[in-house]
């Protein structure tokens, strides 16, 4: 997508077959645009854990390249996979990409080609999510005047994937087609991916957007100021329970209480076909409490992290929550939109429901 | 309540009948404990608007003293009341205290005595809220082992009143009686009154507490980690719709979805007997967008406000939302606990339902 006048993806090899992966260091956004080199699997694992890169598809594509780095260095791929999957326990695409690279190695495939294919597929699947999702926004635009008001949480934008994004793909596509869209962007504490990443990428692309606190969405929905909620997912069960950034569940409840359609968008690589009950089954990552006790921002050209709470305060930092499928209007995948539930998925992904 | 080993209220005259009101400058908390002098009604109006003081009861008691300051300076009390009520449009106690002081003046009462009575009553009403609410916590403690986990939002603590607080009064009382309580404290963006004020006062009093983001409460309730929600109110309708800090409605939805009791605590001075429908009728204050674009915290002994979002980002800042009475298990007042609704209030406050 656009950064100024240049088209970027979120990761690329320094050169053809290089073990060095180049990424946008998302910890510096929106204040500084910095490209970082990940020279080996240790760099790559640290970049995933410390969130230089984050987001469902991008974690997967980065991990796939990490497996190529490991293979290039002669490292055991079981060990490499364990190293990578431990970094972000909720992320389904991480497990998926590691397993696919291990299978490719077993089948004797070229791992550079496989890692590149994973990245290209991610971009293509997100592009198709945009094709399937944009008509939802066009339908709202067609039935009344004024902008289509979309609420999103966290960053399920192109920065969370290789390109296009999941929740943002329909937004970019509708915007580019001339539909009048406006996005309410939840800031998404504690790491503020909404304030820092979603706002940045929407502004770079010229999509009208307004930053709100995570507390505000319910009030907006009560007052008719949200037409549709569009979020991403980090892991979705075969029954349609949506694991996503902490706080998503609260917005789904408000959408349900106010008859606002609530859609989750994701490539099928985010779906965990092995579990049904998301609240019981999706592992919820707990991160450093300092993320809650502090906030990161720009002060006089420096990125600083002042302390918000009393010195010595205890905190807890659950990074994800689960929205039960009953609260999800539909799931937008690369194959189309399905109801949230086994029947919906079985229609789109019949190969997952055989035997 | 306790600050170190000293008992404080949130406001007091510099000396008997002095026009100078002394307050704790809450913008400096939890990092610095600073007492500020409000020398006249201009000081007092600014202190309310810019949130040196905030919270339902404290705004009322401060405004009452502001009316005394105005009268001492020979100012017209209609004009003084207009100046004060414009500062925080959602705050019911502000209107209530101004009207009461104007009525006292009309009746020829001594305004210093009346302002002191309002402060004393606020403290006493909060104490009684504690008496009525603590048995809810004791009942939870009696039926199982482990701490009683309470979730609260924003600051409805002693810092929001003259003493004791509303939502916190039952907590302090139960804690002081030896009940094992633990409080989940929503940080409460954008101004972080939970992180800065509620955490501080609970820690000063020795009540176990854990800071969480505003996004986390739904997840905690899904996993049985919240026994009861206790919040305050800035304006509640005669039908029991609870206007409170933005985000309260989202927690009430999660409580409802997980069968967690949800109580709002307030003195009757917070109840707006003139309106029923809160979503339609309670005015919602919009504050400076900079509160959303920035966060306030401590960096190297300085309080700083770094920018969270891209330079030039748009924001919106609704300060309150309304929780419909159907989501409120009960309302704890100085007269006891009532169902949220006209019938409940009519039983406790029959004089308000006569005509």
Note the pLDDT tens digit of each residue in B287-312.
999 999 999 999 999 999 999 999 99
What is the pLDDT at residue B37?
98
Strand pairing partners for B323?
B242
Enumerate residues 164 to 193 of chain B having a beta carbon within 8 A of any beta carbon in chain A.
184, 187-190, 192
For residue A153, what are the contacts with CB-CB under 8 A and spacing of at least 6? A186, A188, A194, A214, A217, A229, A231, A244, A245, A247, A248, A251
Neighbour tally for B355: CB within 10 Å: 3
What is the pLDDT at residue B4?
87
What is the pLDDT at residue A2?
82
ipTM of model: 0.97
Contact list in B for residue A279 (CB cut-off 8 A) is 222-223
**Among partner residues A187, A217, A309, which is closest to B308 by beta-carbon distance?**
A187
What is the pLDDT at residue B106?
98
Nearest CA-CA distance, residue B212 and chain A, Å: 6
Neighbour tally for A346: CB within 10 Å: 15
Residues of chain A with pLDDT under 50: none
**Among partner residues A30, A299, A309, which is closest to B309 by beta-carbon distance?**
A30
Each residue of B70-96: b (16+ CB within 10 Å) or e?
A: bbeeeeebeebbebbbebbbbbbbbbb
When scoring A149, A219, A229 by the number of chain B Cβ atoms within 10 A, the one with the most, hence best to mutate, is A219
What is the pLDDT at residue A17?
97
Give the strands of the sheet with B11-13, arranged side by side. Answer: B11-13, B21-24, B35-38
φ, ψ dihedrals at A7, nearest 5°: -90, 130
CA distance B23 to A250: 36
Closest residue in A to B215 (Cα–Cα): A247
What is the pLDDT at residue A177?
98
What is the pLDDT at residue B113?
98
What is the pLDDT at residue A119?
98
Pairing mode, strands A235-237 and A242-245:
antiparallel
Enumerate residues 298 to 337 of chain B having a beta carbon within 8 A of any beta carbon in chain A.
298-299, 303-318, 320-322
What is the pLDDT at residue A200?
97
Q: Where are the domains of chain A?
A: 2-120, 132-353
Residues of chain B with pLDDT under 50: none
Nearest CA-CA distance, residue A223 and chain B, Å: 8
Enumerate residues 261 to 290 of chain B having a beta carbon within 8 A of any beta carbon in chain A.
279, 284
Contact between B308 and A322 using a beta-carbon 8 Å cutoff: no
Q: Which homologous superfamily does the CATH classification assign to the domain defined by B132-353?
A: Translation initiation factor eif-2b; domain 2 (3.40.50.10470)
- Region A2-120: CATH code: 1.20.120.420
Just list the catalytic residues of A.
Answer: 234
Q: For the segment B63-96, what is each residue's pLDDT rounded down to a tens digit?
A: 999 999 999 999 999 999 999 999 999 999 999 9
Q: Are A154 and A193 in contact (CB under 8 A)?
A: yes
Backbone angle region of B310, left / alpha / beta, with phi > 0 → left and psi within -120 to 50 → alpha: beta
């Amino acid at each position: 997508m656009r950064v100024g006048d240049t088209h970027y993806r979120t990761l690329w090899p320094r050169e053809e077959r290089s073990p060095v992966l180049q990424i946008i260091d998302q910890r510096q956004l929106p204040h500084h645009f910095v490209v970082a080199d990940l020279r080996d699997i240790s760099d790559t694992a640290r970049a995933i854990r410390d969130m230089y890169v984050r987001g469902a598809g991008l974690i997967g594509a980065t991990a796939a390249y990490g497996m190529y780095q490991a293979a290039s260095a002669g490292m055991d791929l079981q060990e490499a996979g364990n190293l990578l999957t431990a970094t972000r326990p909720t992320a389904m695409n991480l497990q998926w990409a590691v397993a696919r690279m291990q299978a490719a190695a077993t089948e004797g495939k070229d791992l550079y080609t496989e890692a590149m294919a994973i990245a290209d597929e991610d971009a293509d699947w997100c592009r198709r999510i945009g094709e399937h999702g944009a008509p939802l926004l066009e339908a709202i635009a067609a039935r009344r005047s004024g902008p289509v008001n979309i609420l999103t949480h966290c960053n399920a934008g192109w920065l969370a994937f290789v390109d296009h994004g999941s929740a943002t793909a329909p937004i970019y596509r509708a915007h580019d087609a001339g539909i009048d869209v406006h996005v309410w962007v939840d800031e998404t504490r504690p790491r503020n991916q909404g304030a820092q990443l979603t706002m940045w990428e929407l502004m770079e692309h010229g999509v009208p957007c307004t930053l709100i606190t995570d507390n505000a969405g319910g009030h907006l929905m009560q007052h008719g100021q949200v037409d549709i909620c569009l979020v991403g997912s980090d892991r979705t069960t075969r029954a349609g329970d949506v694991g996503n950034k902490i706080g998503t569940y609260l917005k789904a409840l408000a959408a349900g209480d106010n008859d606002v359609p609530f859609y989750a968008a994701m490539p099928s690589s985010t779906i965990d076909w092995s579990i049904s009950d998301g609240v019981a089954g999706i592992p919820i990552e707990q991160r450093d409490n300092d993320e809650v006790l502090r906030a990161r921002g720009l002060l006089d050209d420096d990125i600083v992290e002042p302390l918000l709470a009393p010195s010595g305060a205890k905190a807890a930092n659950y990074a994800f929550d689960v929205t039960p499928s009953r609260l999800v209007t539909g799931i937008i995948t690369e194959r189309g939109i399905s109801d949230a539930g086994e029947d919906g998925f079985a229609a789109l992904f019949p190969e997952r429901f055989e035997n």
